[in-house]
Amino acid sequence: MKKLGQHFLVDYQLLDRLVEYGQILDKDVVLEVGAGTGELTWRLAERAGRVIAVEIDEKLVEEASRKLSKYSNVELITGDILKVKHKIRGFNKVVSNPPYQISTKLMHWLIMSLPERIVLTLQKDFALKITSPPGSKKYVYTSFLANLFYKCRIIEDVPRNLFKPMPKVDSAVILMERIDGEVIPGEEELKLVKILFTQKTKKLRNTLKTVSERLQLSFREIEENISEELLNERVYRIEPLRLYKCMETVIQLTAKMANGNLNT
């Protein structure tokens, strides 16, 4: 079934390495998205305290549950991850070979859930987006989001012939390690960044002008509070944390303005 992205990893040593990269301990709760026949799942279950595995295809769930019957620490959920995700909580690590067609949505949700460590096989092009630095052509909103919270790198290239059936694209394993810090994702701030990235090669000054109109914020306020040098930089060249902090300032200014307006 092509639309479910069913390409199973048939290199068992690679499956073992995915578990290694996860540095799984018995206190860990590991999420696996797209469990397939459970080949990666049982390997995770050997090490983890608990494994939450999600698989959309009922036939595969049946096969996987036979394989996993001796592991009492596996919770196998049948369903579309994008529909059941709100029910899934409490995982601190992610190790998966997920379906590629949902990569972006899956990645956004995973990042916002802020697990400590994420190990995924991804389409090579998508992995490169996640790992490319600010200023690179490949740097998009998802790259910003990933790099705001995680140290991201490709740890292994995976040629297409390690999957069955063989996909048309090459893959890579990425490792994302959570950066210790105080940033807790603010919805408003991230919404703004997303808007800025729709015109990512423009200077921050120009995109913020448009945004300030929407927010009913005078652009003068922004100019007074954000450095000239930053305003002259192109959106996709700005370091993620710096861009995020700048959005915090904009949101604070908006709140202040709104209060001011109420008081007059």
Q: Which residues bind ligand SAH (CB under 6 A)?
A: 4-9, 33-36, 39-40, 54-57, 60, 80-82, 97, 99, 102
Closer by beta carbon to ligand SAH, 82 or else 230: 82
DSSP-assigned states of every residue in 128-185: HHHHPPTTSTT--HHHHHHHHHEEEEEEEEE-GGGEESPPSS-EEEEEEEEPPSS---
Beta-ladder partners of 77: 54
* Euclidean distance between CA atoms 202 and 214, whole angstroms: 18
Q: How far is the CB of 147 from ligand SAH (least distance, A)?
A: 25
Size (the chain), residues: 264
Closer by beta carbon to ligand SAH, 102 or else 192: 102
Q: How far is the CB of 40 from ligand SAH (least distance, A)?
A: 5
Q: Mapping DSSP to helix (H, G, I), strand (E, B) and coil, where does residue 111 land?
A: helix
Q: How far is the CB of 99 from ligand SAH (least distance, A)?
A: 4
Nearest to 149 by CA among 175, 184, 119: 184
* Euclidean distance between CA atoms 149 and 110, whole angstroms: 11
Nearest-CB residue for ligand SAH: 34
Closer by beta carbon to ligand SAH, 80 or else 188: 80
* Euclidean distance between CA atoms 149 and 135, whole angstroms: 18
Q: How far is the CB of 116 from ligand SAH (least distance, A)?
A: 21
Q: How far is the CB of 155 from ligand SAH (least distance, A)?
A: 17
Closer by beta carbon to ligand SAH, 59 or else 256: 59
Closer by beta carbon to ligand SAH, 35 or else 45: 35
* Euclidean distance between CA atoms 180 and 94, whole angstroms: 17
Nearest to 197 by CA among 212, 207, 184: 207
Closer by beta carbon to ligand SAH, 54 or else 204: 54
Q: How far is the CB of 102 from ligand SAH (least distance, A)?
A: 5
